Structure 1
Amino acid sequence: MKAVLLDLDETLFDHRHSCEAGLSAVRERYPDLQQKSVEQLEGQFYLLLNEMHHAVLQGRMTLEEARLERFRLLFHSCGRDLRPQESQEIADLYSQVYAVSRRSVPGAVELLTSLRTRGVQIVVLTNHMTHVQVDKLEACGLTALVDHLVTSEDVGVQKPDPAIFRHALQLCGARPHEALMVGDSWSADILGAQAAGIPAVWLNRRRTPIPDAQTAQEIFELHELAPSLNLYLNL
C-alpha cells in the first residue's frame, strides 16, 4: 500500500467535541436554548451544518452567511427570532469557544505517526475551504504528519465525485488498489472511494447502522484500524 487517504472532520479532527463546547457556551448564555439538551442541539446543528456546507461549497452562500443562518434557524426552532446583531454575537461566541476547543480525534496522531514510519503517504481529502482545513491541521498539531492536503475548493469537485479521489492518487503516484480511504461519511467518503475503486474503512464514531457491510469495513475508533493496516501492508 502506497497511500492512505483520510477525511478530516470527524475522522482526524474532533469537530463534534468543538461543536458541543461552542453550543454549550451559547446555551449557557441564552436560556432560549435550554429547552433542549446539548446533544439535541448538536444533532440539529449537525444537520444544519451539512445543509449550509453544501451551499457554501456550491457558491450559493458565503461562509459568514452560513454561519449566521445556522444560528438564526437554531434559535427559531426554540421559539426565538434573532436580530442580525444577535446572530453575529452568538456566532462569534460559538466560534471563539470552538477555536480554543479544537483537538484531534483520539488515536489520530498515533495513526499518522505509524503510517509515516512505514513509508506510507498520507493524504487528507476533505470537502471544505482550504484555509479552514489548514488552520484545523495546524491547531491539532497534525500538519507535519500529512504529505498532501486535497480540498474540494482547490480541486473544484467534492466527494463523492471520483475525480477528487483520482487527484489524490495522482499526487501519490498510487493506483486505486494501492490506497485505502478512511472516513466518517458514508455518502462522501465510502461511496466516493468505491466509485474510484479504492478500498475503504468507515469510521462510525456515532455508531449508526452500517448501510452495507459488504462495501466497507466498519470501525468505531481509530485505534481499531491497526489490524487492517497490517493486512493491507502485508505485515
Structure 2
Amino acid sequence: MPIRAICFDLDNTLWSIDPVIKQAEKALFDWLRQHYPKIPKQFSVNELAKRRQRLLEEQPELLNNLGLLRKMGLAQAAVEAGYKAEIAEPAFEIFQQARHQVTFYPDVLPVLKRLQKRYILGTLTNGSADINRVGLGDIMSFSLMASDVNAAKPHPALFEAACQRASARPEEVVHVGDDEDCDVAGALAVGMKAVWLNRIYKTPSGKYQPHAIITNLGELERLLQTWESTL
C-alpha cells in the first residue's frame, strides 16, 4: 500500500538529547542560584532526579507527562527549601527555554524538507519538546506528545492518534525512532512500518523485527524510494 505519512520520534532521533538536558539543567540551576538560592544549596541535579523517580514510583501515570513530573519535583523542592510551590512554573520555563536549544543531526533538516514535498510528516514523543520552539513547525503537519493521549509509547494510543491526524491507515504510515522498546514495538503493534534509526550502532535486541534498520535519514530516503518502486 502506498506510503502517505511518516512520523518521527524527536529526542535521539532528530537531535542528541543528553547535551541538551545537561545544558537545560545548568540554565535552571544558574537561575535558581540567582532567584531562589536555597534550592540549589539544598538539592543537587542528581537529588532532584531521584525525587522525580520517587514521584514516578508513587504515581506511574506521570510517565505520560514528563513536563508535569519535572514541575512537581521542583514544587516539592521549593516548599522544602522554604519557598512557595508556585515558583515551579517559572523555573520550569527556564528549563524549557534551554531544553529547546537543540542541534539537529546534520542529515535531519535537508531530508525532512525533501520528504515534506511528498509525504505528510509528523512527530510522536514521550518527552516535552515543542516542534514550533525547535523550528520544525513549518515542516511537520502534526505533533503529538504522550500527554496529549495520556499514554506513552509503546502504548498504541499515540500511534493510533498519528494515523488519525494523517488521515491514513496504519499500513500507510512509517514510524522512525531510535528506541526499540518504544518506537519499533509500538509501531509494529498497530501495523505501521517500523524503521529503527540506529545512529550509534546498537546491537539489536532480537525482540522485534523492524521493517528496516538505518543509521541516518539519508538511508531513509533511499529506503522509501525502494519501497515505492515495488508498488
SS in 1 for 2:229: coil
Q: Measure how far apart 1:120 and its partner are.
A: 0.4
- Residue 180 (str. 1) matches residue 174 (str. 2): yes
Q: 1:5 to 1:96 in 2, by over 3 A?
A: closer
1:127-146 equivalent positions in 2, closer than 5 A: 127-128=126-127, 132-133=128-129, 136-146=130-140
Paired residue for 1:120?
119
Q: Of 64, 72, 75, which residue of structure 2 is paired with 1:65?
A: 72
Contact 1:18 1:97 in 2 (8 A): no
Paired residue for 2:151?
157
Distance in 1 separating the partners of 2:214 and 2:151: 27
Distance in 2 separating the partners of 1:143 and 1:100: 13
Distance in 2 separating the partners of 1:214 and 1:154: 26
Contact 2:15 2:105 in 1 (8 A): yes
Contact 1:103 1:140 in 2 (8 A): no
Distance in 1 separating the partners of 2:198 and 2:12: 9
Paired residue for 1:33?
none
Paired residue for 1:202?
196
Contact 2:65 2:150 in 1 (8 A): no
Distance in 1 separating the partners of 2:96 and 2:120: 33
Distance in 1 separating the partners of 2:205 and 2:170: 23
- TM-score, normalised via structure 2 length: 0.68
Contact 1:102 1:139 in 2 (8 A): no
Distance in 2 separating the partners of 1:96 and 1:124: 18
Q: Of 160, 169, 178, which residue of structure 2 is paired with 1:166?
A: 160
- Residue-by-residue CA offset, 1:70-118 (whole Å, 9 max, x unaligned): xx9xxxxxxxxx9688xx9xx88x938834742223322122111112x
Distance in 1 separating the partners of 2:163 and 2:199: 26
The answer for unaligned runs of 5 or more in structure 1 is 31-40, 73-81
Distance in 2 separating the partners of 1:173 and 1:100: 29
The answer for unaligned runs of 5 or more in structure 2 is 34-39, 41-45
- Residue-by-residue CA offset, 1:109-139 (whole Å, 9 max, x unaligned): 122111112x2001111224xxx43xx4223
Paired residue for 1:105?
105
Pairwise CA RMSD of aligned residues?
4.2
- TM-score, normalised via structure 1 length: 0.67
Instruction: Count residues in correspondence.
Output: 210
Paired residue for 1:232?
227
Paired residue for 1:5?
7
Distance in 2 separating the partners of 1:177 and 1:65: 39
SS in 1 for 2:116: helix
Percent identity of the aligned residues? 26
Q: What is the one-letter code of the residue matched to 1:105?
A: Y
Q: Measure how far apart 1:196 and its partner are.
A: 0.4
- Residue-by-residue CA offset, 1:55-80 (whole Å, 9 max, x unaligned): 534579633134688xx9xxxxxxxx
